[in-house]
Structure 1
């Protein structure tokens, strides 16, 4: 890939990974709509690693608490907020890991990589996000996260395996319907992304390592670095905007893009 292509892929992944607009859907659309080559698995893994570092850095205070809690959890203790957070994140990650492995083994992931599928999911789940955001209460904060909420959000996260759904979008939708305020819903969604992206990267990374060479590694490092910067920017802007703006702008974008993709797919 050329340097420009790497930067475009990294920017798309970084800017859309944590916004409720589906990063995977945009990455699939890029070669489909431009006629260019697919960026390949190695670059996909690289840009995901870049976004992983971004969310860890942005929420480092919470990540540190969860890491310390993991140590207590490993000793069978759930007696601190950190241990409870680590347990909740672990429980929320299990459904998507199982479903993701099943989809990869059965080859269903290739069958879902189409413009029509992304168009329908962009449109449909965008409307669902709008409904949840407008009807959900605002009386709960991230510190009030319960295990049953982690299960609900974890099950919702499985839907993000369908391109165009958006991992952040569907988990934020679930959190808003559970009554979490917008900032808390986004925060919980972002924290859930850490073990999910790590598990996904590990699963895909096994295939990448077998075919890796220096050229691919260098391209991956460049892509990961730019994805990191783009993701950090997107995270900062979204979390600030949520203090005064709803998720409606993202919904409008999803609806317009979804309708456009459906027209393109069926024309």
Structure 2
């Protein structure tokens, strides 16, 4: 992979990871549309790690208190400060770990089919539109263990490209009565353990691989992705309460139809 391809893929990843439009779908489809070789899931994980750096930087003032209070809560066996939200993130991550163990091989191969991406893009876009109409006014600190487990179970579906990890977790949060901004914030915070675990697992695999890995290109893509993602998070949280989810639903429907036209028939 040359640096130009890594640049564009990093920008695409950064701009789409935290929008409910599926970054994985765009990373798979852009090379096909431009005639590039598929960069593979390893590079996809590298640019996802870039977005992890961005979300950790954006929420840096909240992450350390979350971790601190959750550890104190476990030690003292009682709620402490922000520990309810911290435990919600822990519980919400558990279904993804189990789902990844079962579906990881499918994510590498079968599920990267453009027809599957098109179906998921349209189907989950329509679901987001329906659920967004019943959004409530709760914030992310009100999420119970059961609600966190529900959102985490929904996150497993993001293994299917086209679903959108942020999209499906926001959909689940809205279904439970969160307002749009709270659903987005919880989705972004939940991305940290999800992306971190995926990045660590793939890095271990690459470190033991016999084939050469171009760490320079991977690092460049991750850096570009981090910058684009940080800007995207800031803009999305500032706008979502005003524009809602409808623009993203429309985008998903148009994208899905285009994919069906290009890759079926």
Question: Which residue of the partner structure matches residue 111 of structure 1?
Answer: 110
Which of 229, 248, 251 does residue 253 from structure 1 map onto? Answer: 251
Q: Does the Cα contact within 8 Å between 2:10 and 2:221 map onto a contact in 1?
A: yes
Q: Does the Cα contact within 8 Å between 2:127 and 2:171 map onto a contact in 1?
A: yes
Q: Scaled by the length of structure 2, what TM-score is found?
A: 0.94
**In structure 1, C-alpha distance between the alignment counterparts of 2:25 and 2:102, rounded to whole Å:** 20
CA drift at 1:108: 5.5
Moved more, 150-159 or 82-91: 82-91
| SS of alignment partner, residue 242 of structure 2 | coil
CA drift at 1:137: 3.4
CA drift at 1:41: 4.0
- Structure 1 residues 66, 96: closer, same or farther in 2, change over 3 A? same
CA drift at 1:42: 3.9
CA drift at 1:66: 1.5
**In structure 1, C-alpha distance between the alignment counterparts of 2:113 and 2:190, rounded to whole Å:** 27
Question: Which residue of the partner structure matches residue 191 of structure 1?
Answer: 189
CA drift at 1:74: 4.6
Deviations 1:50-104 (Å, cap 9, x if unpaired)?
A: 1001011111222122211232245263421332222111110111111111112
CA drift at 1:32: 2.4
Q: Scaled by the length of structure 1, what TM-score is found?
A: 0.93
Structure 2 spans left out of the alignment, 5+ residues: none
- The root-mean-square deviation of aligned C-alpha atoms, in Å, is 1.8
CA drift at 1:230: 0.5
Moved more, 89-98 or 24-33: 24-33
CA drift at 1:215: 6.7
| SS of alignment partner, residue 112 of structure 1 | helix
Q: Does the Cα contact within 8 Å between 2:89 and 2:190 map onto a contact in 1?
A: yes
| SS of alignment partner, residue 243 of structure 2 | coil
Determine whether 1:264 maps to 2:235: no
When the two structures are aligned, how many residues end up with a matched partner?
A: 265
- Structure 1 residues 74, 212: closer, same or farther in 2, change over 3 A? farther
| SS of alignment partner, residue 244 of structure 1 | helix
**In structure 2, C-alpha distance between the alignment counterparts of 1:42 and 1:131, rounded to whole Å:** 34
Question: Which residue of the partner structure matches residue 124 of structure 2?
Answer: 125
Q: Does the Cα contact within 8 Å between 1:73 and 1:86 map onto a contact in 2?
A: no
**In structure 2, C-alpha distance between the alignment counterparts of 1:234 and 1:101, rounded to whole Å:** 30
Q: Does the Cα contact within 8 Å between 2:93 and 2:190 map onto a contact in 1?
A: yes
